[in-house]
Structure 1
Amino acid sequence: MKNKIGFKSFLAGTACTMLLLGQPLADACTALHLTAKDGGVVVGRTMEFGLDTKSDAVVVPAGTRLTSSLPDKSKGIHYTTKYGIVGLNFMEKHMVVDGMNEKGMYVGALYLPGYASYQKETPENAAKSMTPEDYVAWLLGNFSTVAEVKENYNKVLLVENPQKEIGGQSFPGHFLITDSSGASIVIEPIDKTLKLHKNPLGVLTNSPSFDWHMTNLSNYANLSAVNVKPLNFSNTTISTFGQGSGLVGLPGDFTPPSRLVRAVAFSQSAIKLPTATETVLQLFHVMNAFDIPFGSIQEKTKDAVHYAYTQWTTVADLKNIKYAYKTYSDQSIHSIDVHKALTAAGKGIKIIEMDSKQPIEDVSTKFK
């Protein structure tokens, strides 16, 4: 899966799962973060899709000139990145779907079908227009904190940019931004304008809109990681069957509302470890709870059955500025030191191939 095509423009942000080459869509990405005792914030995210996303890691040094993704390159935002970026692309189309910058700010684009909408590009708004595919790169390339994003997020205008790969629609996404302090927000293109939501719990999935998800959490206010104590009714003791009774009623399906409730339950009950470095492995374990096995989600069409499954999982250490991932075909954890990668890249965008196979070690005779 070597990517030999050079970048002429840098597209950032894409659907978690989309209608590609006639395949049915299924939206199932999940993101959350944990905080270590040393204050380090670590963000995890899964990517689900119905066919091979052919993702690779992308290294974008500071000072890189990025151009508009509009068909007419003379229109839209053109800028030079202030900060270096490391993230993952999509379908060899040079799209970064998930990434962080050298200052320890993370941005992820997740699918928001049925809710996202954009204005049309016109001569009057062309100077500040930007496609949704460009938005993540603009955020990571220009800002280092959530506070800075809050001040500037709506100084650009996201406009329609139909993509044949997703059935001729514009990418319907929303965006999670988290910085090294733990501050987190969600930006959604609702009613053709960008709406900003505070994200005190640091989680995100897919449709409906984020404010709906926050209201829906009220239905699960009874959940707790603490086991339920036995009850006494008329001198009869009623005990639970085993462990986990505090989370009885936790939704286990793969719909966005259910996954968001689980993301809150697992992130809020996670024990704080001493360091961000230790928390990286902890978060990979937490994100395993959102793995979608191949065959669990099926979309039937007239001619075939299509399967959405977890293609890769990323974990961004915002304290130590490291970005790690594992894939469906290789559950080994691969780590990118962002500063080291940016230094080695020099000038120009570089690609790190992700495609690899899971090593299985034979320990039959490795006796203790």
Structure 2
Amino acid sequence: MFDQMVKLAALAFLPISLGCSYVEIPYPDTGRNSAKSYLIPRTMELWDLFNTTKYSIEAFPRGNGNRFGWLAPLNIFHFPPAYQPLKFPFEGMNEAGLTVSALYLAQSVYEQPQPGKPGFSALEFVPAILANCSTVDEVVATLESVTVLTPFIPGVPEEALKTATLHWAIADASGRSIVVEYLQGQRMIHENAPRVMTNDPDIKWHWRNLNTRVHLSPSYPYQNDMLQVKADDDVGVVPRPIGHGWNLVGLPGDTTSPSRFIRLFYLRGYAMEASPIKSFEDAVVLGTALLNNVFIPFGPVAADPRAGPSDGPEFTDYGVLKAPKERVYLIRGYRNTQWRKFDLKRLDFSKGYTWPLEDGSLGIQDATDSGESTPSQAGEL
């Protein structure tokens, strides 16, 4: 019974991941005329539950009923030493280039069990899909053949597990991208044309909310020049923009889900309008910049004191950049923000592997002694 209660405690705290962000960046596919590939930046936010939450990166082999090998960062919850750590993937890519990102959605209500129809819990969604599907079409077919259920542990009150609520962004190597949600017990699958996703509310609400920022502009704001008058000499002509950034006034800067969705959509769009993406490398640069914009440092996000020990100050535990077509997966931690690359085409998925998310360093390279000597004269700039 105590073992069940330990598992209950872990599962009950799993959804304290309210700040995850997801966006896709198109770039030219050099292997196909006029085709696009997509780079997918994504963050994971969670608070360090009782100083027990750790992370590893693990590769899972094909075989034993799994069609595909897959790579994922794992959230690891360490409870009393006598018990095995509980590991859960909320993110990953398989060797076919299929990617799944699970993000918290409080309003999720999963399906009910159906006699004769197999099912799995929402916490099994990521590994079940990555191990057995290669395309979005296969994911859709799989979800039609199963039921996705609220996590359940025998002897544990169902109410305690209702907060393990998620929705999923899924993309494949062809570039097709969908969002899967379970609302009021019904499966909803949407083609993710905006290619952005955060948390609550549901995805359609976020799409409509993009309309509330139509006043934003990629252009320098000269639209009020016809109102200009000459004021005192020390004031000059007013109104006029001074400095940069006035075209983005009204772009929300907080860490709420609606604000992050708005920021990722408009910043990505304006950046690509100003400097079109020409390569995978360009996409990585922009993807890194977008993740930096939604990066959450530890501390500023207030926890809910009424939630007791089930809430704490969340922060960006890790960020990823994943390229389904190339089967490339980049990941960085909170302390060491140096990207590390995993090439799934080269991984031997006949066996498993594990890597630490953080290596204990800050990833800083000392360049002091690597400079090239240049001739100079005194006083010369």
Compute the TM-score of the two structures, normalised by the length of structure 1.
0.81
Equivalent of 1:287 in 288, 291, 316: 291
Q: Determine the C-alpha separation between the residues in 2 that align with 1:44 and 1:354.
A: 17
Query: How big is the shift at 1:286?
Result: 1.5
Compute the TM-score of the two structures, normalised by the length of structure 2.
0.78
Q: Which runs of 5+ in 1 are unaligned?
A: 1-16, 66-79
Identity over aligned pairs, percent: 25
Q: Do residues 242 (structure 1) and 232 (structure 2) align?
A: no
Q: In the alignment, which residue of structure 2 is the partner of 1:140?
A: 130
Q: Which runs of 5+ in 2 are unaligned?
A: 1-9, 30-35, 77-84, 230-237, 373-381
**Which is worse superposed, 267-276 or 28-37?**
267-276
Indicate the SS of the match to 1:139: helix
Q: Work out the number of aligned pairs and report it.
A: 328
Query: How big is the shift at 1:137?
Result: 2.1
Equivalent of 2:317 in 286, 311, 319: 311
Q: Deviations over 1:147-189 (max 9, x none)?
A: 333344322101122478x953352000001222332110001
Indicate the SS of the match to 1:270: helix
Q: Deviations over 1:343-362 (max 9, x none)?
A: 1x423x43222221213344
1:20-59 pair list within 5 angstroms: 20=13, 25=16, 27-38=18-29, 39-51=36-48, 53-59=53-59
Indicate the SS of the match to 1:153: helix
Indicate the SS of the match to 2:318: strand
Distance 1:211 1:300, change over 3 A: closer
Q: Do residues 358 (structure 1) and 362 (structure 2) align?
A: yes
Q: Deviations over 1:218-266 (max 9, x none)?
A: 1112222222225234553532222122221111111111111111112
Indicate the SS of the match to 2:206: helix
Distance 1:26 1:176, change over 3 A: closer
Q: Determine the C-alpha separation between the residues in 2 that align with 1:235 and 1:273.
A: 38
Check whether the contact 2:228–2:239 (CA below 8 A) recurs between aligned residues: no
Q: Determine the C-alpha separation between the residues in 2 that align with 1:365 and 1:338.
A: 35
Check whether the contact 1:276–1:320 (CA below 8 A) recurs between aligned residues: no
Q: Determine the C-alpha separation between the residues in 1 that align with 2:67 and 2:17.
A: 35
Q: In the alignment, which residue of structure 1 is the partner of 2:343?
A: 337
Give the greater-gyration-radius structure (CA).
Answer: 2
Check whether the contact 1:41–1:181 (CA below 8 A) recurs between aligned residues: no
Distance 1:278 1:18, change over 3 A: farther
Equivalent of 2:72 in 83, 87, 90: 87
Check whether the contact 1:41–1:318 (CA below 8 A) recurs between aligned residues: yes
Structure with the higher fraction of residues in helix conformation: 2
Check whether the contact 1:162–1:169 (CA below 8 A) recurs between aligned residues: no
Q: Do residues 321 (structure 1) and 327 (structure 2) align?
A: yes
Q: Determine the C-alpha separation between the residues in 2 that align with 1:277 and 1:138.
A: 31
Q: In the alignment, which residue of structure 1 is the partner of 2:197?
A: 204
Partner AA of 2:72 in structure 1: G
**Which is worse superposed, 281-290 or 206-215?**
281-290
1:100-249 pair list within 5 angstroms: 100-113=93-106, 115-121=107-113, 124-125=115-116, 127-162=117-152, 167-169=160-162, 171-236=164-229, 238-249=239-250
Partner AA of 2:239 in structure 1: I
Q: Determine the C-alpha separation between the residues in 1 that align with 2:315 and 2:331.
A: 16
Q: In the alignment, which residue of structure 2 is the partner of 1:62?
A: 62
Q: In the alignment, which residue of structure 2 is the partner of 1:275?
A: 279
Query: How big is the shift at 1:47?
Result: 0.7
Q: Deviations over 1:283-320 (max 9, x none)?
A: 12221101011111021537889311111001101222
Q: Determine the C-alpha separation between the residues in 2 that align with 1:219 and 1:250.
A: 10
Indicate the SS of the match to 2:197: coil
Q: In the alignment, which residue of structure 2 is the partner of 1:346?
A: 350
Partner AA of 1:147 in structure 2: D
Distance 1:171 1:300, change over 3 A: closer
Calculate the aligned-residue CA RMSD, in Å. 2.6
Query: How big is the shift at 1:367?
Result: 4.5
Query: How big is the shift at 1:33?
Result: 0.9
Distance 1:262 1:50, change over 3 A: same
Q: Determine the C-alpha separation between the residues in 1 that align with 2:222 and 2:11.
A: 45
